[in-house]
Amino acid sequence: MAGSTFGKIFRMTTWGETHGRGVGVVVDGCPAGLALCEEDIQKYLDRRKPGQSRYTTKRNEEDKVEILSGIFEGKTTGTPISLAVFNKDQRSRDYSAIKDIYRPGHADFTYDAKYGFRDYRGGGRSSGRETTARVAAGAIAARVLHEMGIEVFAYTRSIGPVTIDENYFSREERDRNALYMPDKEAASKAADYLEEKMKELDSCGGLVECVITGMPAGIGEPVFDKLSACLGKAILSIGAVKGFEIGDGFQASQAVGSENNDNFYNDNGKIGKKTNHAGGILGGMSDGSEIRFRAAFKPTPSIAKMQHTVTTAGEDTEISIHGRHDPIIVPRAVVVVESMAAVVLLDLLLQNMGSRLDAVKKFYDR
Amino acid sequence: MAGSTFGKIFRMTTWGETHGRGVGVVVDGCPAGLALCEEDIQKYLDRRKPGQSRYTTKRNEEDKVEILSGIFEGKTTGTPISLAVFNKDQRSRDYSAIKDIYRPGHADFTYDAKYGFRDYRGGGRSSGRETTARVAAGAIAARVLHEMGIEVFAYTRSIGPVTIDENYFSREERDRNALYMPDKEAASKAADYLEEKMKELDSCGGLVECVITGMPAGIGEPVFDKLSACLGKAILSIGAVKGFEIGDGFQASQAVGSENNDNFYNDNGKIGKKTNHAGGILGGMSDGSEIRFRAAFKPTPSIAKMQHTVTTAGEDTEISIHGRHDPIIVPRAVVVVESMAAVVLLDLLLQNMGSRLDAVKKFYDR
Amino acid sequence: MAGSTFGKIFRMTTWGETHGRGVGVVVDGCPAGLALCEEDIQKYLDRRKPGQSRYTTKRNEEDKVEILSGIFEGKTTGTPISLAVFNKDQRSRDYSAIKDIYRPGHADFTYDAKYGFRDYRGGGRSSGRETTARVAAGAIAARVLHEMGIEVFAYTRSIGPVTIDENYFSREERDRNALYMPDKEAASKAADYLEEKMKELDSCGGLVECVITGMPAGIGEPVFDKLSACLGKAILSIGAVKGFEIGDGFQASQAVGSENNDNFYNDNGKIGKKTNHAGGILGGMSDGSEIRFRAAFKPTPSIAKMQHTVTTAGEDTEISIHGRHDPIIVPRAVVVVESMAAVVLLDLLLQNMGSRLDAVKKFYDR
Amino acid sequence: MAGSTFGKIFRMTTWGETHGRGVGVVVDGCPAGLALCEEDIQKYLDRRKPGQSRYTTKRNEEDKVEILSGIFEGKTTGTPISLAVFNKDQRSRDYSAIKDIYRPGHADFTYDAKYGFRDYRGGGRSSGRETTARVAAGAIAARVLHEMGIEVFAYTRSIGPVTIDENYFSREERDRNALYMPDKEAASKAADYLEEKMKELDSCGGLVECVITGMPAGIGEPVFDKLSACLGKAILSIGAVKGFEIGDGFQASQAVGSENNDNFYNDNGKIGKKTNHAGGILGGMSDGSEIRFRAAFKPTPSIAKMQHTVTTAGEDTEISIHGRHDPIIVPRAVVVVESMAAVVLLDLLLQNMGSRLDAVKKFYDR
């Protein structure tokens, strides 16, 4: 029943709902000596903030993070780092109408089944707001990874039927448009597509892709805590995610071995791979090449279009969900995907340190 | 570094490699009072045995399971259940040629990177043989689930480009053909396709689909131990799995909300859903309807076709892997997928028992 | 490196230091439906507050707890409960003198060894202040236990050489004197003893004893998570604790079997024990009788008396620690001991629910 | 309900009962590259074997350990190491009489309460035999520690009222007498005392003391996984242990601060402590000096002397337990205490590696 803690060595415990005092996270196991301040974390949270585009809701949340512990003279002390973002704009009247209704596609029904009742205001703990805490923790993990030359870069790969074209891929473009697509043309087309959906009082899904560079080889703990499995769990725990794949992913199920295998070769004295169908993970561990994975997001369940559903008493009824809801989750989720990946990578990097006796002896000067 | 334990309450710890004394698992946390004998487990292992078809290798492993502890007078005592399958047919000479080579698509390279050396005989711990232990544990979980009216049914959904046709779906057909496809026609076409690949000295990938019935609603521990996330981790930890999706999965990324939402309705006094795009999981918890997920397997990496690679010293070389290798992993993996799912379900069912105070008080007669 | 989380199902994660923004805890896995408000927790924290007696420091901390999440309409929702107590009275100038000194008996030296540097203000995370968070979590656990008819009662058993006399034991007396001794006479003698020590600019140790009533039999998870072992870990993790014993404890090492065994007998149709040398725990599980254990606290390390020590550079020096320090830790620790015990009991009660198949089936109506 | 796994990084999972196929353990997370063979482990198990003295039972168990996995070419591969000791001498008829009786001081009653029934033959999982598995795992941990210059040395400190005299302490003497007392004189007196008890058809308790040398400072994970707390849990999980103390332990509860504090001083350029009342642990972490702790064992519950008890139906009855039972547990437990300590130390040494960012970067050459 304790499902709000993630990680083994670098570990985060999140708390908070849409309409409580706020959301937050306790990060335990962060190595001591990392320079860290609110701004390092705030810039990650800002990428989650709505109101940055016409397509994300205008809730005007001022997600301002506060560091409550674990830092001294600007550096992490190795003790738990408590971060909190206090709720400001709640307007609970938005949600009173749904108190006695099970919204389709939402967790209302399952939370009631599990706990016997639920905080019906805005989705409570099942709301996307909960991801703010994950992003705060991920920002810290990302800082540590950065110190080690490891970068995690995620972006919107597709919105509905509109997919980026790899030939026009540009990292800089990602942060220049509101949809976080690294392809200006695709972003424009996706924008049109979204306008259509909004007119139809509907929503749509999309894909987030993530690329990780700089990882050493051998990271991951077979057989159950493989890097692929840990990343999968992390990403699938994000609300609205219905699929996860690494490298060629589902395409690999239709490939043949001679094409899917990444052949090793002598790359100027280093061992390289001619291709990367594996997505950088082999035998469940990083192989030193670029790690690539994708997450499939279903459409936002809250739509203004009329839907059939039931009341909590089980009677047929209809519902049209008004208020402030995104027609698409994906752009806000990009930084959440990056954050979850960063936490997994750091946790496994720390777990890996005890793999070899010679390295353990060297570490302790014995 | 302890990556061989899976689960929190119902927990399994596996051990063993291709060329050690055998493989096995310790199952801890199995409720006491379950009638259990070797045969209950053996029938699951038999579904993994090669030699049952022309397409799986003729290694003739006699995977005979032995129960070493945890049973008394035919019932589980609640103490750890140790299961072992001792290796019989090892023929190490099959593998001596690969001692100094990194086989493409295999974990040789990454195990060396992590540990500094590896047991090169047949893949050691990274071999598919390790899954025997998982299946043994899954067999126990499946028995408990069965006692509770919960069934887990997996099958081969596709091999290469050949996919089953839902109109001809037949559960009985699955166990009647060697490819475990619940569609006789598709099984025949897939057989032809495999013959082709074998002639080409190649291999291919496929999809396994799994359907779970009888689950109560509310199972899963948000936000990180959601049922979807736990299933994902379990399945992605199986060797060769490169993708995982629930319900409509990746298709949902191209859907619109009004179509993807499963509308609730009054189903003769019970709350039902008109559709099941969610695949039975909502807000990360079971919603009481059928749970459906798919796993994408890459092609078997060991092929007889010549491949470019490097020696462990990093020099270019070529390799053709002869011996006893399946041209496809999927049929053998079907029972592994069922087993991993069973373990996850039971673990979360047990974790859920403490969710509500009234239920806890009732349990303890307080 | 993640040492700030405790528990498996009912789980707490604490954070905070003496001179950060505050201290707090995230409680995960608390069953839903428990009526809970700040006052329920505040009354536990108040028992920790200094200034309630001449013998505890006059730091005048106003430990006012705030519930930040996990409650809706006055009841726990089953989601994480975040509690925080924000620091008010910090007066860091008290500690500037010790920045470059390793205080004897304190964790300064070991924190530096582990992390390379430390928050030297007032002990940072090693300060007794950290226990505030534990008490807040323990208060919640105690509420649930109370709902189940289980009570945890701890008290000061001895201060220095002054021990309570069981013949004059009175529960009510505990809360009537500042030393929390359930024996008025002993409390008076101990008071005199403490006056002596204070005049000598010294401190002293003591014992806390804890009695638990109402536990059902069979709670504890052999072989490693035995109730005795879990309680021991919980109590030994409290700062200044150097010993833990159950039932007759160390005395049992000098007993003979015929006297130490608790003989069962027919107690009016129920199975009872004639004695309770075991302290209510048998084979590592509760046996249904009263559970009794003791914790040994060393003297407060911070004394005004001059002590020899070294600077952080390793040079000989002397130190006299002035400021606001208790001459004895024990009275403040009584509620901490109760709280840790409560958390352990609840966690194991929840873990035990999956022990028997028949009970699991009954729970799920299957 | 999964109480048979211990540790976070270096992790052991034990299985087995007195009258099953055998006992065993799976050790996960052992660093790769350690030279290891059966003999390394056997010599630890041999110290547990009965029949080595007049005072331990003549059951003539041939505890011969077998390594089933995790070793290749004489070295650990980093994969799980499965060890098993198969039962040979069981003579179940010894136990048939106790099938329907709750033996005083044994776990019969509590196992029945927890699981609804139990394996009554010889104590099943609650038997001392279960510790064989722990010792096997401890032997591996001890080998790693030895490679790092860390030694764990335990011995019998007292048997009943007979305690060793530190003035005559001799490490070599420990292995020369059957009681493992490092004081020849005391061993002789204790022998006489035991003869007495055996004539009286009784048993007695004792103390085991353990000394650890060579530990670096800073090992332990505050605040809950402190070294003291982890050691305490490990030792208290051993059957018959009713007390645990570190350094001066319970004596410290009667000391004053000026005497109990260990003063630091400049020891020829190194930081040393003038005394070691703390027992080598400060703030829950090792301080670099010798670690010392003691465990109190209650008397063997199985005695030939007639005792009052009840049947499983709750009726008054009497029992005299014949057969092969030690009059004292302590000598056999010495190696168990060493083993549990070794496992804890290694686990925390591995966990500590991620404490500092500079060390993590150095480890990864970043």
CB–CB contact D26 B4 (8 Å): yes
Mean pLDDT of the residues in chain D: 92
Smallest Cβ distance to C16: which of A11, A82, A115? A82
Measured between CB atoms, which of D217, D223, D242 is closest to C110? D217
pLDDT value for C94 = 61
Contacts of B11 in chain C (CB under 8 A): none
Q: How far apart are CA A337 and CA A141, in angstroms?
A: 13
* Partners of residue B270 in chain A, C-beta under 8 Å: 314
Query: What is the longest distance spanned by two Cα atoms in chain C?
Result: 71
- In chain C, the residue whose alpha carbon lies closest to the alpha carbon of D14 is C223
Q: What is the pLDDT of residue C119?
A: 83
Residue contact A353–D355, C-beta within 8 A: no
Q: What DSSP string runs through B284-320?
A: TEE-SS-EEEEEEEPPPS--SS-EEEEETTS-EEEE-
Q: Which residues, 6+ apart, have CB-to-CB distance to C217 below 8 Å?
A: C285, C286, C287, C288, D109, D110, D113, D114
Sheet holding B65-67, edge to edge: B5-6, B11-16, B22-28, B81-86, B65-67
pLDDT at C90: 58
- Write out residues in chain B with pLDDT < 50, as ranges: 51, 54, 58-59
Mean predicted confidence (pLDDT) in C108-129: 84
Q: How many residues does chain B have?
A: 366
Strand stretches in chain B, DSSP E: 5-6, 11-16, 22-28, 65-67, 71-72, 75-76, 81-86, 101-102, 151-159, 162-163, 206-213, 241-246, 264-267, 270-273, 281-282, 285-286, 291-297, 307-311, 316-319
Q: Which region, left, alpha or beta, applies to residue C337 given φ > 0 means left and ψ of -120 to 50 means alpha?
A: alpha
Please list every residue in chain C whose beta carbon sits closer than 8 Å to the beta carbon of residue B222: 79
Distance between CA atoms of D266 and C309, rounded to whole angstroms?
A: 8
Q: What is the pLDDT of residue B326?
A: 79
Q: CB C355 to CB B79 under 8 A?
A: no
pLDDT for residue D131: 93
Contact D13 B23 (CB under 8 A): no
Q: D206, C234: Cβ pair inside 8 Å?
A: no
Answer whether D16 sits within 8 Å of B66, measured CB to CB. Answer: no
The percent of chain B in helix, strand and coil, each rounded to the nearest 5, is: 35, 25, 40
**B4 vs D114: CB contact, 8 Å cut-off?**
no
Q: Do B360 and C351 touch (CB under 8 A)?
A: no
Instruction: Write out the E strands in B108-194.
Output: 151-159, 162-163
Q: Say which of B76, B147, B353 has its CB closest to residue C353.
A: B353
- Are B144 and C357 a contacting pair at CB < 8 A? yes
Of C14, C229, C310, the CB nearest to D271: C310
| Regions of chain A with pLDDT less than 70 | 1, 50-61, 89-95, 122-123, 324
At D124, is the pLDDT very low, low, confident or very high (cuts 50, 70, 90)? confident
Q: Is residue C63's pLDDT more than 90?
A: no
Residue range C196-206: mean pLDDT, rounded: 95
Rg from Cα positions in chain C: 22
C14 vs C49: CA distance, rounded Å: 18
pLDDT at D268 over 80: yes
Q: Where are the beta strands (DSSP E) in chain D?
A: 5-6, 11-16, 22-28, 65-67, 71-72, 75-76, 81-86, 101-102, 151-159, 162-163, 206-213, 241-246, 264-267, 270-273, 281-282, 285-286, 291-297, 307-311, 316-319
**Cβ contacts of C355 on chain B, cutoff 8 Å:** 31-32, 78
Report the pLDDT averaged over residues C24-38. 97
Least confident of A308-312, C314-318, D93-97: D93-97
Round to whole Å and give the CA distance between A298 and A81.
33
Place of tokens 């310790």: B26
pLDDT > 70 fraction of chain D, expressed in percent and rounded: 93
Query: Exposed (0-12), middle (13-18) or buried (19+): which is D304, by Cβ within 10 Å?
Result: middle
Chain A residue with minimum CA distance to C11 = A2
Those chains having 3 or more beta-carbon pairs within 8 angstroms of chain D are A, B, C
Q: Under DSSP, is residue B277 helix (H, G, I), strand (E, B) or coil? A: coil
Measure the CA–CA gap between B242 and A248, rounded to whole angstroms. Answer: 7
Closest-CA distance of chain A to residue B332, Å: 15
Residues of C with Cβ-Cβ distance to D255 under 8 angstroms? 204-205, 298-299
Q: Determine the pLDDT at residue D199.
A: 93
> Phi and psi at residue B146, in whole multiples of 5°?
-60, -40
Decide if D32 and B70 are in contact by the 8 Å CB cutoff: no
- Is it the case that residue C61 has pLDDT exceeding 70? no
Pick the residue of C26, C109, C253 with the most D CBs within 10 A to test the interface with D by mutation.
Answer: C253
Q: Which of A218, A243, A265 sits opposite B245 (nearest CB)?
A: A243
pLDDT at residue number B122: 66
At residue C347, the pLDDT reads 98
Q: How far is CA C191 from CA B343, C203, C241, D304, in A?
A: 58, 13, 22, 49
Q: Shortest Cα distance from D130 to chain A (angstroms)?
A: 27
In this complex, the chains that touch A, judged by 3 or more CB pairs closer than 8 A, are B, C, D
Sequence-ordered list of residues with C-beta below 8 angstroms from that of D35, at least 6 positions apart, any chain = D74, D75
Between vectors from CA A309 to CA A303 and to CA A311, what angle results, nearest 5°?
Answer: 115
* CA distance to partner chain C, nearest, from residue A122 (Å): 13
Residues of D in contact with C246 (CB under 8 A): 236, 242-243
Q: Are A264 and B264 in contact (CB under 8 A)?
A: no
pLDDT tens figures, B156-169 = 999 999 999 999 99
Q: Which residues of C touch A112 (CB under 8 A)?
A: none
Burial letters for B306-317: b for 16+ Cβ neighbours within 10 Å, e otherwise? Answer: ebebbbbebeeb
pLDDT at C55: 53
